[in-house]
Amino acid sequence: MELNGSEILVQFLKDEGVEYVFGYPGGAVLHIYDALFQQDDVRHVLVRHEQGATHAADGYARASGKPGVVLVTSGPGATNAVTGIATAYLDSIPLVVITGQVATPFIGSDAFQEVDSVGITRPCVKHNFLVKNREDLAATLKKAFYVATSGRPGPVVVDVPKDVTDPGIRIPYEYPQEVSLRSYNPVTKGHPGQIKRAIKLLRAAQQPMIYTGGGVVLSEASDELIALTHKLGFPITNTLMGLGAYPATDKQFVGMLGMHGTYEANMAMHECDVLLAIGARFDDRVTGKIAEFCPNAKIVHVDIDPASISKNVKVDIPIVGDVKHVLTELIRELGSRDGNVDSAALEKWWRQINEWKSHNCLQYDRDSDVIKPQFVIEKLYEITGGEAYVTSDVGQHQMWAAQFYKFDKPRRWINSGGLGTMGFGLPAALGVKLAFPDSDVACVTGEASIQMCIQELSTAMQYMLPVKVINLNNGYMGMVRQWQEFFYESRYSHSYVDALPDFVKLAESYGHIGIRIEKPADVEGALKEAFGHKDRLVFLDFLTDKTENVYPMIAAGKGHHEMHMTPECKAPQSSERELA
């Protein structure tokens, strides 16, 4: 088959099985857009800002497990995409971002809309390529998809100069079936000796703890994780990125850990003697003060990226490998039904954990006259039967969604954990809805975050993507306000979002339905109404308590046992707890 560069690009995407490309046109990609126009296999979704394209592709990838694909023009198109690329990078999400570039003879001449896209994105991609010859285009794209989706996934940028896509020059095209890179060979199988050592440690544990993260989701290893955890009978906690990989309603689940994790999860981390860490990267929001992290524990760490192991916390038994493979091996090695663990010790440990649990650290005032944000999430959970895909922005609302929506399945909780990118929620929800048109998709957001990519309401209209926006409108950058209350003597410097738009009218002006909810009694009705509109985007503007804080909270640089608790909760405050 003889094709020009633009046709090769589009044909390749088709052959690679790409359903959607999220993009925005411009000079350097006009040839490609012309090729897109002449076919209907690869569907293009026109966003309203390139940041939106990357987040939408990212949401699609997180929900479906397939790589998200983005197409933007050179210069400002590429720079606008950078935030979304970095967002995907920090959460290890597979994206292939195709950026247009000025024609090769002009590279380096400060040509119109020229930026060094490969240089700008280098620190926030898994890898990137500049395609200098059209003969290399298909093979390079193949490498890009391979690198993005294998091993520890991540975004890959392919920078394509305009002359490479010249419609006038045709060359033979064949879909490259094979790809091999001599310098890139991700490990999958764990070392059998290390697995045996881990088993020995797990069997001897008196106060064990399982801590898992996004790697379990990325590895599609939920079933294996559930099987292993049930076999061991250990308590399990998930990071913000790992939620849903283990069912939140299971009785061995003790909630999220870390800065806004539950009392029981953090206390169990602090007191455990053996920690089994799986596909998690010991982020500082999770570990708190490193010197006080799991002070008594021997640590086993399963991760596909050797660089994640012993990066922040030195571990005792590293196992480099794919979670799915390693968990399968662990289950096999454990053999007998109960895995031969110390059940007497475990029983005692569970009594302690249940005591911690009994403090019910996530309590809030249920009799309040103002809408409590936690209440909205609880109702959202009820009304969607726990089955919705929930995306979020960044702030307090994100933490409440994580704490109060009990995710029982992986890939349902979609948020920016590593970069913490405000503006992520809405475009991500659109990507999710494209991947799962028949499922409920909710975007939990705040009045500050939503304004960072609000323009995508227009995209939602154009493609009929009836997601539900749950705006927890507290009139503040709540998360910032909370820190200022705690650590800056309530000096609320520039955290008040003044001059807010009327979100109801705003939604309506985009052609959607907007509803403002001011009383707790109206929360349930509004949610039911919104989810009743199967084919309309509904923007729910909940006016919530302006002063509510996220609890528990571990201040940056403190240990797991030094939590601030809500006044509603009777658990000992950090100052009262013995600071061992």
- Residues at the interface with ligand TPP (CB under 6 A): 393-397, 420-422, 446-449, 472, 474, 476-480
| Residue 459, contacted partner among other proteins, ligand FAD, ligand TPP, none, CB below 5-8 A by kind | none
Dist. CA 408–CA 245, nearest whole Å: 7
- Rounded to the nearest 10 degrees, the angle between the axes of helix 343-358 and helix 263-271 is 140
Residue 200 or 314: the one with the smaller Cβ distance to other proteins is 314
CB of 83 vs other proteins, minimal distance in Å: 17
Dist. CA 530–CA 86, nearest whole Å: 33
DSSP character for 67?
Answer: P
| Residue 181, contacted partner among other proteins, ligand FAD, Mg ion, none, CB below 5-8 A by kind | other proteins
The answer to whether residue 304 forms part of the interface with ligand FAD (CB under 6 A) is: yes
E-state strands within 163-307? 170-172, 208-212, 236-238, 253-256, 274-278, 298-303
Catalytic residue among 126, 162, 298, 357: 162
Using CB under 6 A, pick the residue from 53, 286, 465, 477 that binds ligand FAD.
Answer: 286
Q: Are 482 and 495 in contact (CB under 8 A)?
A: no
Residue 444 backbone zone (phi > 0: left; psi -120 to 50: alpha; other: beta): beta
Which listed range, 53-61, 275-283, 358-366, 525-533, lies at the site for ligand FAD (CB under 6 A)? Answer: 275-283
| Residue 126, contacted partner among ligand TPP, ligand FAD, other proteins, none, CB below 5-8 A by kind | other proteins
The answer to whether residue 266 forms part of the interface with ligand FAD (CB under 6 A) is: no
Catalytic residue among 113, 206, 352, 455: 113
> Can 479 be counted among the known catalytic residues?
yes
CB of 239 vs ligand FAD, minimal distance in Å: 3
Question: What residues from 342 to 401 belong to the interface with Mg ion (CB under 5 A)?
Answer: none
Dist. CA 192–CA 305, nearest whole Å: 17
Q: Are 409 and 389 in contact (CB under 8 A)?
A: no
What b-and-e string marks burial along 3-41, b requiring 16 or more CB atoms within 10 Å of the CB? bbbbbbbbbbbebbebebbbbbbbebbbbbbbbbeeeee
Dist. CA 393–CA 471, nearest whole Å: 10
> Cα 289 to the chain's mean position, in Å?
24
Which listed range, 120-128, 197-205, 283-291, 557-565, lies at the site for ligand FAD (CB under 6 A)? Answer: 283-291
CB of 261 vs ligand FAD, minimal distance in Å: 5
> Can 578 be counted among the known catalytic residues?
no
The answer to whether residue 195 forms part of the interface with ligand FAD (CB under 6 A) is: no
Tokens 């663990």 correspond to 341
> Can 112 be counted among the known catalytic residues?
yes
CB of 332 vs Mg ion, minimal distance in Å: 48
Count Cα neighbours of 117 within 13 Å in the Cβ-side half-sphere. 32
Residue 56 or 144: the one with the smaller Cβ distance to other proteins is 144
The answer to whether residue 306 forms part of the interface with other proteins (CB under 8 A) is: yes
Catalytic residue among 50, 271, 378, 562: 50
> Cα 66 to the chain's mean position, in Å?
14
Catalytic residue among 477, 479, 563, 565: 479
CB of 260 vs ligand FAD, minimal distance in Å: 4
> Can 174 be counted among the known catalytic residues?
no
Q: Are 78 and 117 in contact (CB under 8 A)?
A: yes
Tokens 């704490």 correspond to 403
Dist. CA 265–CA 254, nearest whole Å: 5
| Residue 373, contacted partner among other proteins, Mg ion, ligand FAD, none, CB below 5-8 A by kind | none
Residue 105 or 119: the one with the smaller Cβ distance to other proteins is 119
| Residue 122, contacted partner among other proteins, ligand FAD, ligand TPP, none, CB below 5-8 A by kind | other proteins
CB of 309 vs Mg ion, minimal distance in Å: 37
What b-and-e string marks burial along 133-170, b requiring 16 or more CB atoms within 10 Å of the CB? ebeebbebbbbbbbbbbbbbbbbbbbbbbbbbbeeeee
Which listed range, 27-35, 39-47, 136-144, 417-425, lies at the site for ligand FAD (CB under 6 A)? Answer: 417-425
Nearest partner of 357 among 236, 237, 263, 259, judged by Cα: 263
- N residues, the chain: 580
For 46, 100, 189, 458, 514, the CA distances from 506, given in Å and listed in that order, are 20, 33, 52, 11, 8
Q: 149 is written with which tokens?
A: 């989706």
CB of 550 vs Mg ion, minimal distance in Å: 12
Question: What residues from 108 to 167 belong to the interface with other proteins (CB under 8 A)?
Answer: 118-119, 122-123, 126-127, 130, 147
Query: What is the pattern of x (binds Mg ion, CB under 5 A) and - over residues 475-494?
Result: ---x----------------
Query: What is the pattern of x (binds ligand FAD, CB under 6 A) and - over residues 100-139?
Result: ----------------------------------------
| Residue 56, contacted partner among ligand TPP, ligand FAD, Mg ion, none, CB below 5-8 A by kind | none
Strand-pairing partners, residue 278, are: 212, 302
> Can 553 be counted among the known catalytic residues?
no
SS3 348: helix
The answer to whether residue 291 forms part of the interface with other proteins (CB under 8 A) is: no
* Residues found near other proteins in the complex (CB under 8 A): 118-119, 122-123, 126-127, 130, 147, 181-184, 305-307, 310-311, 314
Q: Which residues are catalytic?
A: 50, 112-113, 162, 479
* Residues found near ligand FAD in the complex (CB under 6 A): 91-92, 152, 213-215, 218-219, 239-242, 256-261, 279-281, 283, 285-286, 303-305, 308, 322-323, 394, 398, 417-418, 420, 479
